[in-house]
Amino acid sequence: MRGAKRRLGGLAGNAGLLAVIGLASVAAGGAGATSAPQVFALTIRATTFANIDHTDAPAASGGCTTMSRAKGLLTIRFATRRPVLVRFAGGRLQPVTVAPLDGTAVLTGSNALTETCAAGQQTVSTEPCPRSTRRFRGARTTLDGTHSGEIAVGPVGITLRPIDCPREPDELRRAYLAPTPGPLRVTLRPRSTRLTLRATAARTKSYGSPESGILTQRTIWKFMFARRH
Taking the C-alpha atoms of residue 27 and residue 107, their distance in angstroms, rounded to an integer, is: 60
Domain ranges of the chain: 1-35, 37-227
180-200 pLDDT per residue, tens: 999 999 988 878 899 999 999
Could you read off the pLDDT of 112-145 as tens digits, one per residue? 999 999 877 899 999 999 999 999 999 999 999 9
pLDDT of residue 35: 66
Neighbours of 99 (CB within 10 A): 15
Spatial separation of the C-alpha atoms in residues 204 and 168, rounded to whole Å: 15
Confidence of residue 34 (pLDDT cuts 50, 70, 90): low
Query: What is the greatest pairwise CA distance in the chain?
Result: 130
Question: Before 58, cis peptide (omega within 30)?
Answer: no
- Greater confidence (36 vs 97) lies with 97
CB within 8 A of 176, min separation 6: which ones? 48, 50, 74, 76, 105, 158, 160
Residues 6+ positions from 138 with CB-CB distance below 8 Å: 99, 100, 101, 102
* Predicted pLDDT of residue 121: 84
Classified as helix, coil or strand, 14 is: helix
Contact 48, 76 (CB under 8 A): yes
Q: Is the pLDDT of residue 33 over 70?
A: no
Dump pLDDT digits (tens) for 63-95. Answer: 899 999 999 999 999 999 999 999 999 889 999
**pLDDT above 90 for 216:** yes
What local confidence, expressed as pLDDT, does residue 188 receive? 84
* Amino acid at position 123, single letter: T
Report the chain's terminal Cα–Cα distance, integer Å: 56
What is the spatial distance between Cα 138 and Cα 103, in angstroms, rounded to a whole number?
Answer: 9
**What's the chain's average pLDDT?**
86
Provide the whole-model pTM: 0.82
Tens of pLDDT, residues 157-178? 999 999 999 999 999 999 999 8
Q: How far is it, in rounded angstroms, from Cα 136 to Cα 101? A: 8
Q: Cβ-count burial of 115 within 10 angstroms (0-12 exposed, 13-18 middle, 19+ buried)? A: middle
